[in-house]
Structure 1
Amino acid sequence: MKMILSMLFALLIVLAPVTAQELAPDAMVRQVTEDVLTVVRQDKDIQSGNTRKAIDLVENKVLPYFNFQRMTALAVGRDWNKATPEQKKILTEEFRTLLVRTYSNALTSYKNQTVVYKPSKIPEGETNVVVRTEVVQPGSKPIQLDYTLEKQGNGWKVYDVVVAGVSLVTNYRDTFKQEVNNSGIDGLITLLGNRNKQLAAGKK
């Protein structure tokens, strides 16, 4: 649960809507973090386990700043090229739903975490960067969070999050590969769909 919660903060910290999207990615992380965490700290409904409200928060403040298709392609790996355009669309939608529900459930477990920012040296004109921070949790060791972002137009989008050395994207790859080997792309779609139904029903 701590790792899932940390991944959630990674998403919220980097991806909350900002008006100054032309900021460098590290500056954007610093600017939006406190605003987003303030909302979470003040929302007693979310802290009391209101998953629907947590889902609304994630959908409204996070999703527009994610490249879910690239994330899904990286998670599926080489098998992505086996999928038809329609299968790719469904896979992306199901993976997106899986992440939203997972993070929303974790968000209800927020317990006064804070963020420490690591110095960044981002070359001018760079379009693919890693921003490093730590989540500090009372009574626990800090958790290293690395965000991989790419520049699209005037803004930045995240396509991977690394928590304590574990990539959010590649963490799913072995499971996805095994399912494709056993049941094909449609089997993977079914696996994700069933998992989303379990999460929607409140099953861990």
Structure 2
Amino acid sequence: MVFCIRRAYRSEQAGFRAGKFLTNPTKAGRGHVNNLRYRSSTRKKVSLLLMLRSSARILLLSQAASSSFITSSSPVSRLQSAQFRTSARTMSEMTPVFTKDACPPAGPYSQAIKANGQIFVSGQIPADVNGNLIEGNIGQKTEQCCKNIAAVLEAAGSSIQKTVKVNIFLTNMADFAEMNETYAKWFAHKPARSCVAVAQLPKGVPVEIEAIALQ
């Protein structure tokens, strides 16, 4: 916008000089009168263009200042920057947990992950430290799942008493009562819990338990 105004201003100046020197201001008659009118009109146009150019500069400066303020000082911008820094820091602080005192992972996953002051324990199945499935009823198999969770949390520097959320998966809801009886012995502080029935679990086990605990 400033560029367009500048070009118009220069064109008017050129016209003014042409009118000034091509028409003899001392010549009497109609030519002299027309020349005076042209010069007066040109001055008004030049003044108007100068005012527009000043207004355009003020507008551009105002927009630049406003944009800078929004970018650097707005609460939204500061919040987004803080969230990005927190996310980057959290990602860099993710630590896998492994212990020989629990069932080894049966796939490409960790026994647990420590992140942001919490420990996310992968689903534990009723298998021993060698990965062999144990025999017994649903109560015994539930106990083995809980033992694995306790061992993983201890390796992570926490304990089963710091568990805040548990997810239980059963292939048969008829096992719910017996599973609960054993579960209550390990999670006496009653953390938040979900229990769902599923069609099938890895290695054909009847129960799997995962947990989230505080460090």
TM over 0.5: no
TM-score, length of structure 2 as denominator length: 0.24
Larger relative contact order (CA 8 Å, sep ≥ 6): 1
Larger Rg: 2
TM-score, length of structure 1 as denominator length: 0.25
